Amino acid sequence: MIGHVLCFGEVLLRFATPAARLTVQCDALDMVVGGAEANVGAGLASLGHGVRMLTRLPSSTLGDKARAVLGAAGVDTLHIGRTAGRMGLYFLESGAGLRPSSITYDRAGSVFANSAPDDFNFASALEGARLLHLSGITPALGPGGVALARAAVAAANAAGVPICFDGNYRALLWDAWDSDPRSILTDLMQSATVMIGNHRDISLLLGKPFSGDASDRRREAALAAFEAFPKLQLIASTARHVVNAGHHRIAARIDTRDAAHQTAEVDVTGIVDRIGTGDAFAAGVLHKWLQGADTVSTAQAGLAYTVLKHTQPGDMCLIGPAELEAFSASGGDVRR
């Protein structure tokens, strides 16, 4: 495989209540495969890019399922290690209207979380890669996760492969151990060329607030990040306003060192599945970045892909490039 994107991170199984049911009302739960980095990989593969997943899965039927779903999405799974242990799980109680969905994690002690850097052959997986994608979830898993993220970043640096880092700040995970997220994440960001994250993420990294009105605040934060992280070339973020579980409003923004573009806000109604929409945004952005596109079309693609993800069940966006190009924020009738 040549010219691929390498995604490194944990793959999870999601068990979700169907049709807005409470868990107590269900005799079956929908089973879906996800994980922030895998979702980005599946999106990029669906958009036609070569994608390889680097992770470890249990040698169980659940691990088989996770591998199969990645293979179905067109992701290269030959570098996925298998070993005895448990699968990281999460349970989703689907909301509706003014009842938000809620997630219960059961991911501690998973095969991935218990892995050491030596369990992965980063060099081999990175051979020929155009990009390494990883996220802030891996270091949040604990000291072992920090070691994994650092090893991945070091290997990419050694191989001269640029890095996309998605902040994905999960307070629950960082708070579960004696962590210093700011110093860990700031260190990892030194190697990042692309950052997925907004002014609040930057504020957390740099330890200072950004004031002013919405748009000024965002540019100010972006410029501070470009100053702090010398390799950084592109920052991609969304602004989301939640009306109810079935109706959000979203705008997308791209900042480079020289330019910035923020799209108009789109009304996202009839939401089918909100999970993974941030990862779809990252995939839409990277899809254009890998093609060398400008900030406007990159922001538009990120927006379109995240909006489209809301219309499709599952953690992974499996929508193809034709649908992405045909996207219109003013709707459209049945296509025949």
Chain positions 103 to 132 lying near its own copies, rule: CB under 8 A, are 103-106, 108-109
Catalytic residue among 76, 255, 279, 315: 279
| 232 or 304: CB nearest its own copies | 304
- Sign for the CA dihedral angle at 183, 188, 189, 195 comes to negative
**Any idea what the Cα angle at residue 217 is, between residues 247 and 164, rounded to 5°?**
75
Which x/- pattern, by CB under 8 A, does the window 79-98 give for its own copies? -------xx-x-x-x-xxxx
143 binds its own copies (CB under 8 A): no
24 binds its own copies (CB under 8 A): yes
As given in the structure block, the two tokens for residue 142 are 């604990």
To the nearest whole angstrom, how small is the minimum distance from the Cβ of residue 283 to its own copies? 15
158 binds its own copies (CB under 8 A): no
Stretch of 29-37, 139-147, 148-156, 215-223 contacting its own copies, by CB under 8 A? 29-37
* Angle between helical axes of 295-309 and 277-290 (0-180°, round to 10): 150
To the nearest whole angstrom, how small is the minimum distance from the Cβ of residue 110 to its own copies? 10
Q: Are 85 and 52 in contact (CB under 8 A)?
A: no
- CA 136 to CA 125: how far, in whole Å? 20
Write the CB contacts of 259 (distance below 8 Å, at least 6 apart in sequence): 295
220 binds its own copies (CB under 8 A): no
| 179 or 193: CB nearest its own copies | 179
Of 312, 255, 257, 254, nearest in space to 280 by CA: 312
To the nearest whole angstrom, how small is the minimum distance from the Cβ of residue 303 to its own copies? 10
**Sequence letter at residue 118:** D
**For residue 213, is it left (φ>0), alpha (ψ between -120 and 50) or beta?**
beta
Beta bridge partners of 189: none
8-to-112, 116, 168, 237, 242 alpha-carbon distances in Å: 11, 13, 14, 21, 30
Restricted to residues 176-215, the positions that interact with its own copies (CB under 8 A) are: none
271 binds its own copies (CB under 8 A): yes
Q: By rule CB under 8 A, what count of residues binds its own copies?
A: 86
Restricted to residues 291-330, the positions that interact with its own copies (CB under 8 A) are: 307-308, 310-314, 318-320, 323, 327-329
216 is catalytic: no
| 71 or 117: CB nearest its own copies | 71
Stretch of 4-12, 113-121, 244-252, 253-261 contacting its own copies, by CB under 8 A? 244-252
- 131-135 and 163-166 beta bridge pairing: parallel
Restricted to residues 46-65, the positions that interact with its own copies (CB under 8 A) are: 60-62, 64-65
Q: In the set 3, 48, 72, 177, which binds its own copies (CB under 8 A)?
A: 72
26 binds its own copies (CB under 8 A): yes
Q: How far is CA 186 from the centre of its chain?
A: 18
- CA 254 to CA 299: how far, in whole Å? 6
332 binds its own copies (CB under 8 A): yes
The catalytic residue positions are 279
